[in-house]
Structure 1
């Protein structure tokens, strides 16, 4: 059975209520644990740094879902860390599969072929979106985040993220069809 010290309990309570100073204290207290877990699994210090940053950004953005009565903050952070490590491993595997396809057939373009003009038109149309939908579309397509990851990153409900993506894609399709 894990026990939580009174200092850790107060820190968890402050964090859960959104005290910005608590985020700094939480980072100082548990970032070595998060970094060590990431480094042991990923073996690349830069990836471990990225995971550590992602864990604390996700934790802060999702702090309203943390319930100190259900468990220790450290355990919650370890769960987020495991998910971020798994995401990094999955991204590595996707990258390796893509590299293998390119090496197997260097003449085959692994991505759809868009010329520079098409890319500029699409980027311009994305820039025309309102701020929140534009941010969501960029996270989805440039950062390759899932709907759930976007919701966690932005602290939005999942349904709201999906609605923004659906409406934004419809707007982009309409505007691009007119431009062609």
Structure 2
């Protein structure tokens, strides 16, 4: 048997089963392509946690959009790499938007402090301290913690809004709050 044909056969079988909704094929695709997706994300984002999030988002998007996969247009690998590129671009754009928003909020907070001079309230100081310490979080943690604190959203609401699984949301928020606590205790 030709080695190329052998390699294509099982991959084509996995792709067909994946497109048909076979969860075992999803597991095989993740096993085969997960390391590639993770590496691409890590190289682009420079953060292991963000790469893990992107990997999870890619396979979730691929599974949800499996009806859009067409084997005549290319391989499952190429299709998933294409999704990966889009998710990475979205993550980078989100990072930029969050950084812009954080800078704008920090400028407003600083202006507020200058306006009040030496009479700033404890609440304003706490907000500035939290904003400054939030820069130590990963972009995903910063976004989810911000949605919790400033958006007053529940974990379930954040999960629906972001499309991330509830367990992932809870883990990121918990790790984010632990990191904030450590930074704030260290600076106290």
- The two structures have a TM-score, normalised by structure 1, of 0.59
- State the structure with more CA Rg: 2
Map of 1:131-170 to 2, 5 A cutoff?
A: 139-140=160-161, 143=162
One of 22, 25, 48 as aligned partner of 2:25 = 22
Aligned-pair CA distance for 1:98:
1.1
One of 61, 72, 87 as aligned partner of 1:84 = 87
Aligned-pair CA distance for 1:139:
3.4
Contact 1:15 1:22 in 2 (8 A): yes
Map of 1:12-161 to 2, 5 A cutoff?
A: 12-106=15-109, 107=112, 139-140=160-161, 143=162
Q: Structure 1: how far apart are the matches of 2:43 and 2:87?
A: 13
> Higher mean Cα deviation, 39-48 or 9-18?
9-18
2:8 matches 1:5: yes
What residue ranges of structure 2 are gaps of 5+ in the alignment? Answer: 114-126, 128-151, 164-188
Q: Structure 2: how far apart are the matches of 1:42 and 1:35?
A: 10
Secondary structure, in 3 states, of the residue corresponding to 2:73? coil
| RMSD across aligned positions (CA) | 3.0
More helix by share: 2
**CA deviation map 1:23-82 (0-9, x unaligned):** 000000000000000000000000000000000001001101101121100000001001
Q: Structure 2: how far apart are the matches of 1:11 and 1:139?
A: 30
- Count, aligned residues: 121
What residue ranges of structure 1 are gaps of 5+ in the alignment? Answer: 110-118, 124-133, 146-180
Aligned-pair CA distance for 1:6:
1.2
Q: Structure 1: how far apart are the matches of 2:12 and 2:65?
A: 18
Contact 1:16 1:68 in 2 (8 A): no
